[in-house]
A and B are shown apart, each in its own frame.
Chain A
Amino acid sequence: MIIRGDEPEQIRLLRKPYKKGNYFMQGNEAVAYGALFAGCRFYAGYPITPSSEIAETMAKELPKLGGYYLQMEDEIASIAAMVGASWTGFKVMTATAGPGFSLMQENLGYAVMTETPLVLVDVQRSGPSTGQATKGAQGDFFQARWGTHGDHPIIAVSPTSVEDSFWETVRAFNIAEKLRTPVVVLFDGISAHARERIRIPDPEEVEVTYRKLPANEEEAKLPFGDPHGDGVSPMPLFGHGHFTHVTGSTHKENGLRDVYTPEVHDRLVRRIHRKIEQNKHVYEKYDEHFTDDAEILVISWGVSARPSLGAVLNAREEGIKVGLFVPKTVHPFPGERVRELSKKARAILVPEMNLGQLILEVQRFVNDDVLLKGVNKVGGVPLTVEEILREIRGVA
């Protein structure tokens, strides 16, 4: 059984069914192929619109690569099975939408606390509650950040197109493996169901990483230690005779529960935070367009980033000095860069498909003398170039 997905035979195997070249596919399919190329060989999920094609594609493709597709009885079971499988060495993924994401939150916290690598794709749909189940939205920005309880860090990436969703999924896996942590992919129902041209690469072109394993028995005995000073503990896998104890309760470096000593909790939770903070280079990513001389700045994410770019290009043709900033990793938010850019800007627009979420993160890093304005749309229909352009003209 090949489970690591980065061995040469896996690359040979990937080449057989997936010839490199241009394909026409849905965003959801692209996410699935991204996962396969990143080495995902275990998927546990529960169908929910608009994410179901990810499960369907995984069910069809995983067995070809010797991987496992499990349709569980609900979303809670799905993320639970993923955590179990991750501790046996699999790279694991699930996909869901808002309501399912809510159900997964408790075990997402468990994955944070037990430092279990996994990738959770949330194909955002219109809410609250059942809302417009078939329509896209960007309303889960803060559910990804603060959905589970307690003091916890989280990493979330957000693709902006079909092709981008392939690569962002690969990146999500690499971050999860490098930092031994869950990673959320904040996708959306619009890009998920859009069909576009995408280039499937040769497997050799795809960066694939695998979690740090214990170098010796000593490291294996401290599954929650920090032997390399980077906050990332080597992960002893189940079934290798290490007698590893894993618990979501506060635990010492050796994994054993200690919920009574304040220092133990403090040390553990601070390290889990520090691990994310001190490894910014692993996950921080943003795109910038025309930001050098921008007096007006558009900050947008996910599906709204493309009409935003269209609007910026049009506005530039009209001679308006406007630039675009797109955080690709939305949590932790690249606030320092936004702070720098905002110093030169007199107005900032934040287009997103909700009534104002990313804008709250932006606000934290912007001075009061900058005009900050949301361009918000709900109802399941994406923002158009024209709608954003109108707002840019309005502040020009």
Chain B
Amino acid sequence: MAKEIYSMYPRVKYLRKEALPTALCPGCGGGTVLNAFANAVDQLKIDPRDLVVVSGIGCSAWIASPYFLADTLHTTHGRAIAFATGVKVGLPDKKVVVISGDGDLASIGGNHLIHAARRNIDITVILVNNFIYGMTGGQVAPTTPFGARTTTSPYRNIEHPLQISETVAAAGASYVARWTTAHVYQLIESIKKALTVKGFSLVEVISQCPVQFGRRNRMKEPADMLRWFLKDSVPISKARNMSPEELEGKFVIGELVNRERPEFTEELNKLIDDVQEHFGLREE
């Protein structure tokens, strides 16, 4: 199996051969995300030696770590962005990317997510939102749709899902976009932009988990879930003219934010220059 993937997949040079095949379930959206990311890196001609990929815990954390062949840091649950902050300060000239899931980044890691956006540190976050805790057995997540069934909301979910992209946009990120795994080409373009933008960037990918989410919500086949994404996606331009009631349960897709703000590591280095200049400490 591994050998077959290795000889057939054109972006295989970006993968860690000895870690294949992946641990992802058949039909998982994670493969699409990995493929989109590899294509974005390829199209931008980024040398993987200039990449550090950080991830947390959960299925989606596995997408790039260990499979992507770069320096990879697989961290504790929820803390990937905080780890990545230290990496970025140490290597301001490298691309630092966080790929992880909604449970990891937006639930236990929610605090780090909004504060990294506030700081506007030049990290690209690819947040894979599959509405559920997949690896622990399909428990309710902060992104689980209202009324949906999971192993810990067996009757129905009575909590409202967190709008991750909107929250991060409000917190001050430079670039925020949301796509689904049914919008692969748009997703690649958005990841490319996110990697290019200076400042904090988030690409939220609505992704299918047929095994844990779909199965319990009348979408057993991966294609059922993709059809759902296509049916309920609303482009942001259209969504602006829609009422909150009309948007209930829809996926607003597209670029939410694309703006310039002072970036954290640049400001940090400027500050050091100023201080050294002020105290006459500059080494010439």
Nearest A residue to B86, CB-CB: A84
Q: Are B71 and A243 in contact (CB under 8 A)?
A: yes
A44: interface (CB < 8 Å): yes
Q: In the bound complex, how far is the Cα of B275 from the Cα of A81, in angstroms?
A: 23
Chain B residue numbers with a CB within 8 Å of A66 are 272, 276
Q: A66-B272, A245-B16, A245-B74 are in contact. Are A238 and B83 (CB under 8 A)?
A: no
Q: A9-B283, A80-B83, A86-B86 are in contact. Are A64 and B276 (CB under 8 A)?
A: yes
Q: Are B66 and A77 in contact (CB under 8 A)?
A: no
B48: interface (CB < 8 Å): yes
Q: Are A248 and B75 in contact (CB under 8 A)?
A: yes
Closest 8 CB pairs of A and B: A88-B90, A84-B86, A85-B86, A80-B82, A81-B86, A77-B82, A63-B275, A247-B74
Q: A64-B279, A66-B276, A245-B66 are in contact. Are A42 and B86 (CB under 8 A)?
A: yes
Residues 86-116 of chain B: 1 if any A CB is under 8 Å from the residue's CB, otherwise 0?
1111110010000000000000000110010
Q: In the bound complex, how far is the Cα of B18 from the Cα of A249, in angstroms?
A: 17
Min CB gap A117→B, angstroms: 13
Q: In the bound complex, how far is the Cα of B94 from the Cα of A88, in angstroms?
A: 11
Residues 8-28 of chain A: 1 if any B CB is under 8 Å from the residue's CB, otherwise 0?
010011001100000000000
Min CB gap B235→A, angstroms: 33
Q: In the bound complex, how far is the Cα of B265 from the Cα of A85, in angstroms?
A: 13
Q: What is the size, in residues, of chain B's interface with A at 8 Å between Cβ atoms?
A: 41
Per the 8 Å Cβ criterion, residues 41-72 of A in contact with B are 42, 44, 63-68, 70, 72
Q: A17-B279, A64-B276, A238-B71 are in contact. Are A81 and B85 (CB under 8 A)?
A: yes
Q: Are A13 and B281 in contact (CB under 8 A)?
A: yes
Min CB gap B167→A, angstroms: 15
Q: Are B76 and A238 in contact (CB under 8 A)?
A: no
Q: In the bound complex, how far is the Cα of B83 from the Cα of A107, in angstroms?
A: 10
Q: In the bound complex, how far is the Cα of B273 from the Cα of A68, in angstroms?
A: 12
A83: interface (CB < 8 Å): yes
Q: Are B91 and A238 in contact (CB under 8 A)?
A: yes
Nearest A residue to B89, CB-CB: A68
Per the 8 Å Cβ criterion, residues 255-279 of B in contact with A are 268, 271-272, 275-276, 279
Checking B72, B79, B268, B271 against A76 with a beta-carbon cut-off of 8 angstroms, the contacting residue is B79
B233: interface (CB < 8 Å): no
Checking B69, B90, B272 against A238 with a beta-carbon cut-off of 8 angstroms, the contacting residue is B90
A73: interface (CB < 8 Å): yes
Q: Are B87 and A238 in contact (CB under 8 A)?
A: yes
Q: In the bound complex, how far is the Cα of B71 from the Cα of A318, in angstroms?
A: 65
A90: interface (CB < 8 Å): yes
B211: interface (CB < 8 Å): no
B230: interface (CB < 8 Å): no
- Main secondary structure on chain A at its contact with chain B? mixed
Chain A residue numbers with a CB within 8 Å of B74 are 245-249, 257
Q: In the bound complex, how far is the Cα of B59 from the Cα of A132, in angstroms?
A: 42
Q: Are B83 and A63 in contact (CB under 8 A)?
A: no
Which of B69, B87, B115: most chain A CB closer than 10 A?
B87
Residues 247-273 of chain A: 1 if any B CB is under 8 Å from the residue's CB, otherwise 0?
111000010110000000000000000
Nearest B residue to A114, CB-CB: B73
Min CB gap A32→B, angstroms: 16
Q: Are A72 and B82 in contact (CB under 8 A)?
A: yes
Checking A73, A83, A90, A241 against B111 with a beta-carbon cut-off of 8 angstroms, the contacting residue is A73
Can you list 6 A-B pairs, Cβ within 8 angstroms, ordered by A?
Answer: A72-B85, A73-B115, A88-B87, A239-B71, A240-B49, A257-B66
Checking B65, B76, B91 against A88 with a beta-carbon cut-off of 8 angstroms, the contacting residue is B91
Chain B residue numbers with a CB within 8 Å of A242 are 71
Checking B19, B48, B49, B85 against A84 with a beta-carbon cut-off of 8 angstroms, the contacting residue is B85
B70: interface (CB < 8 Å): yes
Min CB gap B83→A, angstroms: 4
Chain A residue numbers with a CB within 8 Å of B85 are 44, 70, 72, 77, 80-81, 84
Chain A residue numbers with a CB within 8 Å of B72 are 243-246
Chain A residue numbers with a CB within 8 Å of B48 are 243
Chain A residue numbers with a CB within 8 Å of B10 are none
Min CB gap A365→B, angstroms: 35
Min CB gap B91→A, angstroms: 5
Q: Are A16 and B281 in contact (CB under 8 A)?
A: yes
